Structure 1
Amino acid sequence: MRLHRSTSEAVIQALDAIFGGKRYADKVIEKVLKQNPKWGARDRRFIAETTYDIVRWYLLLKRITEAKGDDYWKLLAAWCALHGVDLPAWDEFKGVSVSKVKSEEMKARSIRKVRESIPDWLDELGEQELGKLWEKELQSLNEEADVVLRVNTLKISKRDLQERLDEEGVATYDLKEYPDALVLEERQNVFGKPSFKDGLFEVQDAASQLIAPFMKIEPGMRVIDACAGAGGKTLHLAALMKNKGRIVAMDVEQWKLDELQKRARRAGVSNMETRFIESSKTIKRLQNSADRLLLDVPCSGLGVLKRNPDAKWKLSPDFIEKVRTLQQHILNDYCEMLKPGGLMVYSTCSILASENEKQVQQFLKQQEGKFELQAEKRSWPSEGFDGFYMALIKRT
């Protein structure tokens, strides 16, 4: 591989926006890639993958180069040295010794927080909550995430979609233990494909696809997805319900619900309505109305660092404390929308017990017998996909 000036500058620009501007990596990369229509697929892949890789290994690369502040060129130089890419004779790379970079990287392997490139406080918290499991899960969280599709069974079967994608130049393989999942054999942008525009699939991690079936959903039910966001799980629920019954998708941000409406139209979903949560009155109006309730609550997002590596640099102990308080608030207030005898699922994309099992235990204790735990399920990053927790809870 040979470095090119324009694509290298694009990587530096992206890093500056992510770290200097504290912006989300996926949005930054999307914007950067739109700047130059002349970049081909290989150039675009280099910019996206190199940026994500440097973000993922930021602490390690800083340590082995002794880079100060916003010296992102040094980080790029270190990345090149570790990937066997020759450094051009550019002024920005002056003083960088490839042999020293490799030597320092070998030394850094003995310190876990540097080797795995994670903030001190987060490494301590992970070990405190997960014990011996933390090392294995942390290592897995630094692996690149697979791109997984969820077949929209309202419109097509898995086999037919696989054949259609193959015709469009997208090779996939089947995940037999996940009924609606196909994995891309090679990373590529699938959002421009005719099959996506026709609403035949959504991009949704395999672990995330476990949540809707865990709710024991049936066609004809009244279902509330109370933290719907842009609605990946809402659309999965609609497919499992075969467009029969009613889904109320709710969120505290209207723009997310607007995006969900667009996605629902593309997917051919006809049994869904959206409701903006203006205040506690919105929740009270729906008391005792749901056969099933999904609370996919805001969380630290530690289980999805594979696809959002910049999150580990944006998180703070204060944020995690606030999100735990919010999780309890949602559990105790929103549970009233569930009918007696109904089932709800509490889920997070975190691997911390303090956001998962402990939150459910605290909720059950506070509710004093009004709810009982039916089942729990976890997906660990070391199993190959995102980290998720889900608890199935019955209103008695």
Structure 2
Amino acid sequence: MRLHRNLVFAVIQALDLIYNEKEYADKVVQKTLKLDKRWGARDRKFIAETTYDMVRWKRLYNEIAGSKGHYTRDNLFKNFAVWATLKGITLPDWKYFEGTPTRRIKGKFDELQSDRKFRESIPDWMDEVGYAELGKKWDEELVELNKQARVILRVNSLKTTRKELQNLLRAEEIETEEVANIPHALMLVERKNVFLTDAFKKGLFEVQDASSQLVAPFLDVKPGQKVIDTCAGAGGKTLHLASLMENKGQIIAMDIYAHKLAELKKRAKRDGAHNIETRPIEGTKSIKKFKGKADRVLIDAPCSGIGVLKRNPDSKWKLNADFLDRIRKTQAEILDQYASMVKPGGKMVYATCSILPSENENQVKAFLKNHTDFRLAKDKKVSPAASGFDGFYMALLEKNA
């Protein structure tokens, strides 16, 4: 592979924004790809994948480069030189790469393989928590979480079928494969910008990981029911619920962030989902209004996101142990408060995109101890290592009639 100066500089600029300005990697990559209209698909792929790769392996590359966590422009180039050397790419004779010790880079890489924190490129605190909660399983989960996430689509069954969508995308030169045991999932054979397709503009699909597509069906919704999605965000699972309910009944999508609900409204219009009503949460009044009124309640709880590190590698460097403690308290409070909306005989799903028991089954156990009118019907853990997809947890809780 030959390195092109403008593409390498774009990656360095993106890393500066992510590391030094603390911007989110996905937003930075989106912004960076718009800088030069002449870039083709291969150029854009290089920028996006190299930036994510370097963010994913930040700690390992930093340690090999000896840049001591200071991300000056020179040090960013040193980190880039490590990335290129380990990928077997010959460095061009630019001043930034003068004197790059390629042999020492490879030797240092080999030496660090015996230490999981460097080998899997994660912060000390996260490694300690993960190992304490998951034991030896933590190693295999980390290996999978450091791989690039696959692009998965969810077919919008309100408008099309899986076969029809496959054929439409093939006509736009996008090949997909069915995902076993997930009826509305299609996986891209090769990464492409699906948002530019006619099929997307017509609302025939959403981008949603295979594991995330398990959550809405877990709630066992029926057409005509009253369903409340309490942490709806921009509405990936809300829209899935609407399609499962065949647009019949009522879905109340709630969130503390009104701007996310505004995005959900746009998506619902595109998808032809007409049974969704958005309600911002403005304190406990918003919850009390629906006390005992819902047939089904979905709590897609805020969490550490450790199960989706392959999708958001920069969150490894943004999270900390204090945040994890705070989020566990928030999860317990949300479960306690939002359960009041379930009517007698109704059902509730508590879900997270974490693989830590302290955010998952331990939260459910603590909840059931204090809410004897609920029982655990079933739960499901999705391991990234076992599935190849995001890590998820979901528990179906039934309220006594």
TM value normalised by structure 1:
0.99
Whichever residue aligns with residue 63 of structure 1, its letter is E
Whichever residue aligns with residue 100 of structure 2, its letter is V
Q: Does 1:242 align with 2:246?
A: yes
Q: Does 1:62 align with 2:59?
A: no
Match of 2:296 in 1: 292
Match of 1:224 in 2: 228
Match of 1:171 in 2: 175
After TM superposition, give the deviation of residue 279 of structure 1 in Å: 1.1
Q: Does 1:142 align with 2:146?
A: yes
Q: CA RMSD in A?
A: 0.7
After TM superposition, give the deviation of residue 176 of structure 1 in Å: 2.8
Q: Does 1:303 align with 2:320?
A: no
Q: What is the count of residue pairs matched by the alignment? A: 395
Match of 1:88 in 2: 92
Match of 2:16 in 1: 16
Match of 1:132 among 123, 133, 136: 136
Whichever residue aligns with residue 214 of structure 1, its letter is F
Match of 1:161 in 2: 165
Match of 1:112 in 2: 116
Map of 1:261-280 to 2, 5 A cutoff? 261-280=265-284
Partner Cα separation in structure 2 for residue 90 and residue 44 of structure 1: 22
Match of 1:34 in 2: 34
Moved over 3 A (4+): none
After TM superposition, give the deviation of residue 115 of structure 1 in Å: 0.4
Partner Cα separation in structure 1 for residue 46 and residue 67 of structure 2: 22
Whichever residue aligns with residue 106 of structure 2, its letter is K
| Percent pairwise identity | 56
Partner Cα separation in structure 2 for residue 12 and residue 143 of structure 1: 21
Partner Cα separation in structure 2 for residue 234 and residue 111 of structure 1: 42
Q: Does 1:375 align with 2:381?
A: no
Partner Cα separation in structure 1 for residue 326 and residue 39 of structure 2: 42
Whichever residue aligns with residue 374 of structure 1, its letter is A
Q: Does 1:251 align with 2:255?
A: yes
Partner Cα separation in structure 1 for residue 65 and residue 32 of structure 2: 26
Q: What secondary structure sits across from 1:191 in the alignment?
A: helix
Whichever residue aligns with residue 246 of structure 2, its letter is K
Whichever residue aligns with residue 177 of structure 1, its letter is N
Per-residue displacement from partner, 1:183-212 (whole Å, max 9, x unpaired)? 000011100110000000000000000001
Partner Cα separation in structure 1 for residue 369 and residue 255 of structure 2: 27
Match of 1:53 in 2: 53
Whichever residue aligns with residue 92 of structure 1, its letter is Y
Partner Cα separation in structure 2 for residue 103 and residue 237 of structure 1: 52
Partner Cα separation in structure 2 for residue 346 and residue 76 of structure 1: 41
Partner Cα separation in structure 1 for residue 138 and residue 357 of structure 2: 12
Partner Cα separation in structure 2 for residue 120 and residue 245 of structure 1: 48
With 95-104 and 144-153 compared, the bigger mean Cα shift is at 95-104
After TM superposition, give the deviation of residue 343 of structure 1 in Å: 0.3
After TM superposition, give the deviation of residue 67 of structure 1 in Å: 1.7
Partner Cα separation in structure 2 for residue 21 and residue 359 of structure 1: 35
Partner Cα separation in structure 2 for residue 37 and residue 231 of structure 1: 31
Partner Cα separation in structure 2 for residue 307 and residue 267 of structure 1: 24
After TM superposition, give the deviation of residue 38 of structure 1 in Å: 1.3
With 152-161 and 68-77 compared, the bigger mean Cα shift is at 68-77
Q: What secondary structure sits across from 1:360 in the alignment?
A: helix
Whichever residue aligns with residue 46 of structure 2, its letter is F
Query: Which blocks of at least 5 consecutive residues in structure 1 are unaligned?
Result: none
Q: Does 1:316 align with 2:291?
A: no
Partner Cα separation in structure 1 for residue 138 and residue 89 of structure 2: 32
Whichever residue aligns with residue 350 of structure 1, its letter is S
Partner Cα separation in structure 2 for residue 227 and residue 381 of structure 1: 23
Q: What secondary structure sits across from 1:23 in the alignment?
A: coil
Q: What secondary structure sits across from 2:111 in the alignment?
A: helix
After TM superposition, give the deviation of residue 313 of structure 1 in Å: 0.6
Per-residue displacement from partner, 1:56-102 (whole Å, max 9, x unpaired)? 01111111111240111111111100111111111111221111111
Q: Does 1:331 align with 2:339?
A: no
Partner Cα separation in structure 2 for residue 286 and residue 94 of structure 1: 66
Match of 1:25 in 2: 25
Partner Cα separation in structure 2 for residue 287 and residue 92 of structure 1: 63
Whichever residue aligns with residue 229 of structure 1, its letter is G
Q: What secondary structure sits across from 1:247 in the alignment?
A: strand
Partner Cα separation in structure 2 for residue 67 and residue 4 of structure 1: 24
Whichever residue aligns with residue 104 of structure 2, its letter is K
